[in-house]
Amino acid sequence: MPLLTEDKTEVGSYFISNYPPFSFWRPDQLSAARGVLESPPKPGTPLGLYLHIPFCRKRCKFCYFRVYTDKAARDIETYVEALAREVELYSRLPIAGDRPLDFVYFGGGTPSYLSVRQLESLVQRLDAAMPWRTAKEVTFECEPGTLTEPKVRSLRQLGITRLSLGVENFSDAILEENGRAHLSAEVYRSYDWIRSSGFPQVNIDLIAGMVGETWENWRDCVRRTIELAPDSVTIYQLELPFNTVYSQSIRGDGSPIPVASWSTKRSWVDYAFSELEAAGYRVSSAYTLVRGQAKKGTGPICRNGPEGASHKLDLSPFWPADSEHGQFLYRDSLWHGADMIGTGVASFSHVSGVHFQNVDQWDDYIGKLQTGELPLGRALAPTQRQRLIRELILQLKMGRLDAAYFQTKFGSDILSEFGNALDLWKSEEMLDVRDGRVELTRAGLLQVDRLLPEFFEPDHRGARYT
């Protein structure tokens, strides 16, 4: 297979978040999803809950999520009611039962778009159906301009352990060009409220490669981030999936969009990694850095391997030390095969090895729930090998693989089974293999999503991801 050498940011998905690709999921496989929902869970499997809040003040020009900017107050109330009802329906199924929630994630869209009253009402119903006050991690995404000091205090009182602030950039001109709703003054104002409220973990999101960005601007963004000293920093490289405003412009009339090349974006992220490391952060994945030293002796545990064996995966270099809330439990659990129930329009779930997605249209989602039906839209029941590949490619995003983990859980020698792909990327100095481990180089980590399709099954290579 020829190496991927394109450097220009073209229209199409780049970031890989699951496997097999979403384009292979089908409505006719929903019986598999219903089957696992009506069955008890595999013993020892963590459970998480994702809640999609699809409202935004504006649609960013690079956004490809299911979001709405034109819903009236009564529509939002209708959606919140439907979301609560969906969680209640799941709570009555065998897959949920009395299982404790290990993590909860409020994503969007903009969860902080909801009012304090709406949030408190939603949380009250959620907690009654699937109690989450003992969850190890509760993450809540925020857009700076939607926050008020009372709302921030309320979020802390509701039990949020990590607040993730979508800063993206500190330049007002770049924020406006890319369609962001907030400006830099709102970042600083909201950040003061967040810090004074005492959240255990505060995360800042940045995007490398926004339209109009330059080296001078990027250095300034990194400097300002270090000055704010968040507990963790997440950095994405701008891509152009098919349904973004920018992509539609390019595909419609061929208008060029001045998005930085991949090599430039990787250089910017490399610079940010180096500066943040010098400021006391540690690289936690291809996209995240955390403040603090490594926590020794911690890591996800695989409990469903051959003969019921258990194997503890040593991820200590990638776990922060300051508290259990300094981890990215949502990410690490999912990338090690945890169950996650995704609620909300177009949300994705992974339960007992089966993938499924909710319907992606507003009326369909609301209508199904008003009749007491789960709003399932399509599904896929991966093979054992596909489940192996899924965990392999996702864990590779953390910078390394432990061959013993895969031997224990899947009975697979990944160093042999995926030897061709490993040899290919080793020859390109993207990774190294030693002592039963695969370790990405910095160059490999910065472009890991480009490397992953080489591990796909042949039918999935080159296919449209979404």
Q: What is the CATH number that goes with domain 22-296+327-380?
A: 3.80.30.20
Q: Long-range contacts of range 94-98, CB-CB < 8 Å, 24 or more positions apart? A: 94/37, 94/38, 94/39, 94/40, 95/36, 95/37, 95/38, 95/39, 95/40, 95/41, 95/339, 95/341, 95/351, 95/352, 96/47, 96/130, 96/341, 97/40, 97/41
Least confident among 63-67, 111-115, 156-160: 63-67
d(CA 50, CA 295): 26
The secondary structure of residue 293, as a DSSP letter, is P
- From residue 110, alpha-carbon distances to 54, 117, 143, 145, 146 in Å are 6, 16, 6, 11, 8
Over the chain, what is the mean pLDDT?
90
pLDDT digits (tens, 9 = 90+) for 196-240: 999 999 999 999 999 999 999 999 999 999 999 999 999 999 999
pLDDT confidence of residue 431: 98
pLDDT digits (tens, 9 = 90+) for 336-349: 999 999 999 999 99
pLDDT confidence of residue 300: 32
d(CA 334, CA 394): 9
The domains of the chain are located at 22-296+327-380
d(CA 363, CA 422): 46
pLDDT confidence of residue 255: 73
Picking from 336, 335, 359, the residue whose alpha carbon sits closest to that of residue 347 is: 359
Picking from 185, 269, 173, 179, the residue whose alpha carbon sits closest to that of residue 219 is: 269
More confident residue, 178 or 302: 178
- Across the range 117-141, mean pLDDT stands at 93
**Quick one: tokens of 392?**
């392999």
More confident residue, 303 or 273: 273
pLDDT confidence of residue 318: 30
Model confidence at 327, in pLDDT bands (50, 70, 90)? confident
Contact by Cβ (8 Å): 338, 102: yes
pLDDT confidence of residue 258: 84
pLDDT confidence of residue 463: 83
d(CA 182, CA 286): 26
More confident residue, 75 or 250: 75
pLDDT digits (tens, 9 = 90+) for 1-46: 233 446 888 888 889 999 999 999 999 999 999 999 999 999 999 9
Model confidence at 295, in pLDDT bands (50, 70, 90)? very low
pLDDT digits (tens, 9 = 90+) for 131-175: 988 899 999 999 999 999 999 999 999 999 999 999 999 999 999
pLDDT confidence of residue 305: 36
pLDDT confidence of residue 293: 55
- Across the range 255-276, mean pLDDT stands at 93
H or E stretch including 291?
strand 288-291
